[in-house]
Structure 1
Amino acid sequence: MIAFIFPGQGSQKVGMGTDLAAASSHAREVFQEVDDALGQNLSKIMAEGPEDQLTLTENAQPAIMANAIATLRVLEKEGGVTLADKGAFVAGHSLGEYTALCAAGAFSLADTARLLKLRGQAMQAAVPVGEGAMAALLGADLEKAQALCDAAAEGEVCQVANDNDPGQVVISGHKGAIERAAGMVKDHGIKRGILLPVSAPFHCSLMQPAADAMAAALADCPPQAFTVPIYANVTAAAVTDPAEEQRLLVEQVTGRVRWRESVLAMQAAGVTRFVEVGGKVLGPMVRKIAPDCTATSVVTMDDIEALAKEL
């Protein structure tokens, strides 16, 4: 069984999608549709930068989605590999959950772009710049990370945001608490704590205003039926009901991304192969979490052609 997975924030880079757009009209159509939906030339920012514009959360989120959906569309239209036929499940890391839903037909491409633009804006607006932070803990498991958060909080928010793989957990919260935590890693048997270059503290309780904004947006534009079940970030379990998924997307803004558990749950459900579409971030994580499974990252035309031959 195959699961198609979609990357989250941090996988953006200037030049993303350029070669694909040059090689395929199907990719160009996706980028044009996203530009039209947003009323901005996002594809130009993706292709040419400047980097600080692409890194802005409100641009990075729809850009990463557009790149992944363009890759998938080329795979489907030119490679003859359709997600509905080949995929048993879909999942995405944070914003990638929206990409996965778009890929499975729950949202139109235009609606997905608009929802992610809004999500990015709402997340950025939830906490004034400089008040929040995130840090990656290397050589940490969930238990060690939780103990560190409890020790560093001192009345501030300091929470586990992403349980990525067996050796990497990301924490999020008030800047002071996250900096304290990064300085205390050795006391908790953790190799390193690296402050992340992010503009807001995602996936913690400080994001509640953004969760409220997404609740309103999703009430106006709810997910429709999807072709394959999705593994939700906040439950690490398969979802088939659009109304349940709508509720979980709201929870996801403040909730933990249970990526490690999601991969293990998909493996337990019979998945032996993971195909990461539009990035090279999740494949290496999957290999650490589920070494018995195959993980392929598909980004270029060569990747697409190679995968189409295999599947």
Structure 2
Amino acid sequence: MRKIAFLFPGQGAQYIGMGKEIAEKYPSANKIFQISNESLNLDLKNLCFEGPDEELMKTEFTQPAILTTSVAILKVIGEHGINAEICAGLSLGEYTALVYSNVLSFEEAVKLVKKRGRFMQEAVPEGKGAMAAIIGLDNSLVMEAMDKARTKGVVEGANYNCPGQIVISGEVEAVKDACTIAKELGAKKATLLSVSAPFHCSLLKNAGDKLKDELVNVSINQPIKKIISNVTGDYIINSDEIKDLLTKQVSMPVLWEKSIEQMIDDGINTFIEIGPGKTLIGFAKKISKKYDNEFDYFNVENIETLDNLLTKI
């Protein structure tokens, strides 16, 4: 029996042209882009389809752009009768999961993530923060590298993506030092990421506080789908905890590996990544290797990948 989970990408997955093919073919998808334009008083549709890249890369535009693209594709998948039992999104992607679960209206979500992006961008002066991916090193040794590097400043685990991949975040010198130490401890790679701020670490707490103030005015509904939280790697049980989790999510690590493990433990055997890119499917494949079960993996970002999904499910 097929049990489906939807996965929604976060910042970093964006590219010019995302969502264009599906919006041109499906009126429901195009309507989501139009709603986004009206909600933000901004031509986000044109930014997604045509760029320019330097504007799309700005965090306050990137976040609503990815959310809009993912929700537009989600509408089309729903029209074809494909639904998920469980959903989760990586960082920003969690807002797509909340829209899918009817916790947030799309209109409120897209306005909220634009502000979230701006708060995150402004929290740390440009050039003061950094993030890096540590590849091929046990978690305990990544922790050791960060502990040693803290003499240079703040450095913390930001994304626990899959076995052998942790993203770290913090002040530039501390992050660079942690990379050097990680390589000495045997990491295959320790690479600085091209990001505008040190996401998911304590330096972003101020951004979370500002987001908390915005969330006061946002309507939250009880989830109609099972959602796994980035902060806990476990299910969101009650709508009362959602605003607190979204506030914490900005400055706390994303427990993605734990989230996928929870899905597998609950019988999920089909993962569908909805939105730009296929990074999350890659993570799911690595996480699921230790299980004896058989799994299917799909990503949907254009007509070709949509048709592939529809012919196999």
Question: Would the TM-score normalized by the shorter structure come out above 0.5?
Answer: yes
Deviation at 1:155, TM superposition (A): 5.2
- Give yes or no for contact 2:22–2:303 (8 Å, CA) kept in 1: yes
- Provide, for residues 140-175 of structure 1, a one-character-per-residue CA deviation record: whole Å limited to 9, x for no partner: 232222111111111511000000010211000001
Equivalent residue number for residue 308 of structure 1: 310
CA distance in 2, matches of 1:155, 1:223: 41
Q: Is 1:245 aligned to 2:234, yes or no?
A: no
Deviation at 1:301, TM superposition (A): 2.2
Q: Is 1:127 aligned to 2:96, yes or no?
A: no
Equivalent residue number for residue 50 of structure 1: 52
Partner SS state of residue 85, structure 2: strand
Q: Is 1:282 aligned to 2:284, yes or no?
A: no
Aligned AA (2:94)? E
CA distance in 2, matches of 1:38, 1:22: 21
Deviation at 1:106, TM superposition (A): 0.9
CA distance in 1, matches of 2:81, 2:310: 7
Residue from 155, 178, 195 that aligns with 1:158: 155
Deviation at 1:309, TM superposition (A): 4.1
Matches within 5 A, 1:1-311: 1-77=3-79, 79-81=80-82, 83=83, 87-154=84-151, 156-279=153-276, 280-291=278-289, 292=293, 293-311=295-313
Deviates more, 1:111-120 or 1:297-306: 297-306
- Give yes or no for contact 2:61–2:117 (8 Å, CA) kept in 1: yes
CA distance in 1, matches of 2:197, 2:284: 26
Deviates more, 1:211-220 or 1:288-297: 288-297
- Provide, for residues 169-221 of structure 1, a one-character-per-residue CA deviation record: whole Å limited to 9, x for no partner: 10000011111122222222211111000000000000011110111111210
Partner SS state of residue 224, structure 2: coil
CA distance in 2, matches of 1:268, 1:184: 35
Aligned AA (1:7)? P
Aligned CA-pair RMSD: 1.3
Partner SS state of residue 52, structure 1: helix
TM-score normalised per structure 1: 0.95
- Give yes or no for contact 2:63–2:113 (8 Å, CA) kept in 1: yes
Aligned AA (2:81)? G
Contiguous gaps of at least 5 residues in structure 1: none
Partner SS state of residue 226, structure 1: coil
- Give yes or no for contact 1:287–1:294 (8 Å, CA) kept in 2: no
Deviates more, 1:208-217 or 1:300-309: 300-309
- Provide, for residues 41-85 of structure 1, a one-character-per-residue CA deviation record: whole Å limited to 9, x for no partner: 1111111111111011111111111111111101112x232x3xx
Partner SS state of residue 86, structure 2: strand
Aligned AA (2:237)? T
Deviates more, 1:136-145 or 1:269-278: 136-145
* Corresponding pairs, count: 306
CA distance in 2, matches of 1:202, 1:246: 18
Deviation at 1:295, TM superposition (A): 1.8
Aligned AA (2:283)? M
- Give yes or no for contact 1:203–1:253 (8 Å, CA) kept in 2: yes
Deviation at 1:107, TM superposition (A): 0.8
CA distance in 2, matches of 1:130, 1:88: 42
Deviates more, 1:66-75 or 1:237-246: 237-246
TM-score normalised per structure 2: 0.95
- Give yes or no for contact 1:134–1:195 (8 Å, CA) kept in 2: yes
Aligned AA (1:207)? L
Partner SS state of residue 159, structure 2: strand
**% identical aligned pairs:** 38
Aligned AA (2:44)? L
CA distance in 2, matches of 1:184, 1:17: 41
- Give yes or no for contact 1:90–1:100 (8 Å, CA) kept in 2: yes
CA distance in 2, matches of 1:59, 1:146: 33
CA distance in 1, matches of 2:185, 2:149: 11
